[in-house]
A and B are shown apart, each in its own frame.
Chain A
Amino acid sequence: MAILIIAEHHHQHLGAETAKVVDAAQQIGGDIHVLVAGSNCQGAATEAAKLANVQKVLVADDTAYQAQLAENIAALVVELGRDYSHILTAATTSGKNFMPRVAAMLDVNQISDIISVESVDTYTRPIYAGNAIATVQTTDPIQVITVRSSAFEAVSQGDEVPIESIALVKDLGLSSFVGEELTKSERPELTAARVVISGGRGMQNAENFKLLEGIADRLNAAIGASRAAVDAGFVPNDMQVGQTGKIVAPDLYIAVGISGAIQHLAGMKDAKVIVAINKDEDAPIFQVADYGLVADLFSVLPELEQKL
């Protein structure tokens, strides 16, 4: 039995999620191979080769995989994946994009967003915005799984393992890359940060989000947002935490001016410590907060920044 992990990466660097998927894979048990499919992606492959418990790294380096187009990546993974009992990837937007395509081409179901490995064929996953946890068992011959990285620990570094080049080029020509607009940030990645501070509709405008920046700098925190703040145009949508945005589980989550709708809680209620700052003492966020401060954020935030 062997497990194939499709690496999340930015070509030159491995994404932080991949080391957590390896953790899930080692709990299933078996040889673990990591596939890096990209363009000029030797950097990511070298980093993958240093992850503990990985036996081999496969690299498919071609411009066809540059933009991680689902059609091309899925075709590659299907061809390589038939020799494996499990195919895993992180439940990032990239993994969520190509993995169900892989599953359908292999005529199996996918198990999305697992949060624990119960046995070699049984997993748990949240449903209904995290308001219920389903334990599911699969009898599919190849198990296709996406992993919620916030639920697993990153494996440490181990001995460097061999890197093998795969000369398989799948360029289906069904889609092409036009352009991208990436949000630039010096701060830690939202899904990997130890501390996250998020603002909601209570921030009132984009300008006021600057009030969070000083605090984020002092705590080395990532800045997140609720859907309301994103929809109001205060911040870009890749900062959204929730059922339809990013799922985070930091040590400390500070929710500022966020009421705490079900859809937002789905993205952060596994944080170790939750702090809520809100002037409405009946806001649902206080039901999950370890420490709640009922106060006007505009007076609290500058004070907090000053005292940190």
Chain B
Amino acid sequence: MKVLVPIKRVIDYNVKVRVKADQTDVDLANVKMAMNPFCEIAVEEAIRLKEAGHASEVVVVSIGPNTCQEQLRTGLALGADRAIHIISDEMPDALNAAKILQKIVEKEAPQLVILGKQSIDSDNNQTGQMLAALCGYPQGTFASKLVLEGDKAQVTREVDGGLQTLSLSLPAVVTTDLRLNEPRYATLPNIMKAKKKPLEALELGSLGVDIKASGLKQLKVTPPASREAGIKVSSVDELLEKLKNEAKVI
């Protein structure tokens, strides 16, 4: 079967973001970018399905400016067979991203689409579910275990009270949680080989997606309220005294 893995280029998770002085957005100029950590887990899972003989081909896809080809090459270096870059200067909102991906799903007809559960920039946690809805596929979100059995996928999901296991008819959409796997690193020979793997760049207009203007408008972006500097106490007694008499929380 074919597995499609949509990936996103985001700010590196270790970078502390700064809000622009004019409050229009966060400042992404000269900031280190990387593949979204949940997308790395999605790529890893697809590669493991291929190594286990379940998947015949792994295709990575990303929407964005030319710079997102770096992350597609990373996906190829990790073991994906080919990449699709959908050229878009503006980053689409979640609904439009799902509509674009739906066109790729129609074109490629994968049996399984694996996405990260959320991107660490917008923190939306929407695209996988929206894609499943548009395709009419079942969804297995926040997956910590994925087992393929014939025409079904058994997905163990991380839910608030513990774990829940569902059986999904294929084709299906799965989104990854942190504990699904430990992503591998790309080795230097594989990075070199990845440069020769096919990367198809598609103009957004060529897909025939009905992109409508986003219903969402970001009015401003502000830094969160900062906390007052605290104090260091020297003993348990002092800590308890402060909590009882100063903070009055116990």
Alpha-carbon distance A269/B226, docked complex (angstroms): 10
What string of 1s and 0s marks CB contacts (under 8 Å) between B188-209 and chain A?
0000000000000000000000
Residue contact B16 to A307, C-beta cutoff 8 Å: no
Whether A180 and B123, one on each chain, are in contact in the complex, defined by CB atoms closer than 8 angstroms, is no
Residues B122 and A127 in contact, CB atoms below 8 Å apart: yes
Task: Determine which of B117, B139, B179, B224 lies in contact with A131 in the assembled complex, contact meaning CB atoms within 8 Å.
Answer: B224
Is the Cβ of B217 less than 8 Å from the Cβ of A182?
no
Residues of B within 8 A of A94 (CB): 159-160
Inter-subunit contact B250/A100 (CB<8 Å): no
B218 touches A182 (CB 8 A): no
Q: Is A71 an interface residue (CB 8 A)?
A: yes
Could you tell me which residues of chain B, from 202 to 247, have a CB within 8 Å of some CB in chain A?
Answer: 214-224, 227-237, 239-240, 242-243, 247
Q: How far is the CA of A67 from the CA of B227 in the complex (A)?
A: 41
Q: Does A169 sit at the interface, judged by CB under 8 A? A: no
Chain B residues contacting A179 (CB-CB under 8 Å) are 164-165
Is A304 engaged at the interface, CB distance under 8 Å to the other chain? yes
B interface residues, tally (CB under 8 Å): 81
Query: Are B125 and A100 neighbours in the complex by a CB distance under 8 Å?
Result: yes
Residue of B nearest to A97 (CB): B141
Does B11 belong to the interface (CB within 8 Å)? yes
Known: A138-B216, A244-B177. A183 touches B162 (CB 8 A): yes
- Determine the chain A residues whose CB is within 8 A of the CB of B11 once the complex forms: 128
Bound Cα distance A227, B37 (Å): 14
Contact with A along B20-44 (1 / 0, CB 8 A): 0000001000000000000000000
Stretch binding the partner chain, chosen from B58-66, B70-78, B130-138: B130-138
In the assembled complex, the Cα of A119 lies from the Cα of B149 at a distance in Å of 49
Q: Within the assembled complex, what's the spacing in Å between the Cα atoms of A140 and B232? A: 49
CB–CB B216/A109 < 8 A: yes
- Residues in B76-109 with C-beta less than 8 Å from chain A: 93-95, 98
Query: Cβ of B160: which chain A residues have Cβ within 8 Å of it?
Result: 92-94, 191, 238, 246
Bound CA–CA A269/B158 (angstroms):
23
Check if B123 sits within 8 Å of A243, measured CB to CB: yes
Contacts A128-B17, A131-B16, A246-B160 hold; do A109 and B222 have CB atoms under 8 A apart?
no
Residue of B nearest to A75 (CB): B133
Q: Which of A98, A129, A273, A293 contacts B232 (CB 8 A)?
A: A293
Cα(A243)–Cα(B233), bound, Å: 29
Using Cβ atoms and an 8 Å threshold, which residues of chain B touch A166? none
Using a Cβ–Cβ cut-off of 8 Å, how many residues does chain A contribute to the interface with B?
Answer: 90
A99 to B128, CA, bound (A): 12
Give the complex CA separation of A74 and B126 in angstroms. 14
Q: Contact mask A259-276 → B, CB, 8 Å, 1/0?
A: 000110000010011110
- Which of the candidate stretches B1-9, B45-53, B166-174 sits at the interface with the other chain? B166-174
Distance, CA A275 to CA B249, complexed state (A)? 11
Interface residues in A94-122 (C-beta closer than 8 Å to B): 94, 96-105, 107-113, 122
Q: Which of B123-159 contact A (CB under 8 A)?
A: 123-134, 137-142, 144, 154, 157-159
Q: Which of A130, A176, A263, A308 contacts B224 (CB 8 A)?
A: A130
Q: Is the Cβ of B133 less than 8 Å from the Cβ of A74?
A: yes
| In the complex, chain B residues whose CB is within 8 Å of the CB of A70 | 129, 132, 139, 141
Count of chain A to chain B residue pairs whose CB atoms are closer than 8 Å in the complex = 256
In angstroms, Cα B102 to Cα A248, docked, is: 35
Is the Cβ of B162 less than 8 Å from the Cβ of A180? yes
- Which residue on A lies nearest to B247, using beta carbons? A273
Residues of A within 8 A of B185 (CB): none
B129→A97 contact, CB < 8 A: yes
Please determine whether A134 and B218 come into contact, CB atoms closer than 8 angstroms: yes
Contact partner of B158 (CB less than 8 A), chosen from A132, A238, A289, is A238
A217 at the interface (CB under 8 A from B): no
B186 at the interface (CB under 8 A from A): no
Q: Which residues of A contact B139 (CB under 8 A)?
A: 70-71, 97, 101, 175
Q: Which residues of B contact A137 (CB under 8 A)?
A: 216-217, 219
Q: Which of A126, A174, A307 has the most CB of B within 10 A?
A: A174
A residues less than 8 Å from B177 (CB atoms): 237, 244
Tell me, in angstroms, the Cα distance from A199 to B236 when the chains sit together.
Answer: 17
Instruction: List residues of chain A with CB within 8 A of the CB of B137.
Output: 174
A291 and B123 contact, CB distance less than 8 A: no
A67-B232 CB under 8 A given contacts A132-B26, A272-B249: no
Query: Which of these, B125, B163, B229, contacts A96 with CB under 8 Å?
Result: B125
Distance from A95 Cβ to chain B, minimum over Cβ atoms (Å): 10
Known: A127-B121, A176-B167. A104 touches B162 (CB 8 A): no
Sampled A-B contacts (13; CB under 8 Å): A97-B142, A110-B126, A112-B125, A132-B17, A134-B218, A136-B216, A175-B168, A191-B160, A237-B158, A262-B14, A274-B230, A292-B232, A293-B239
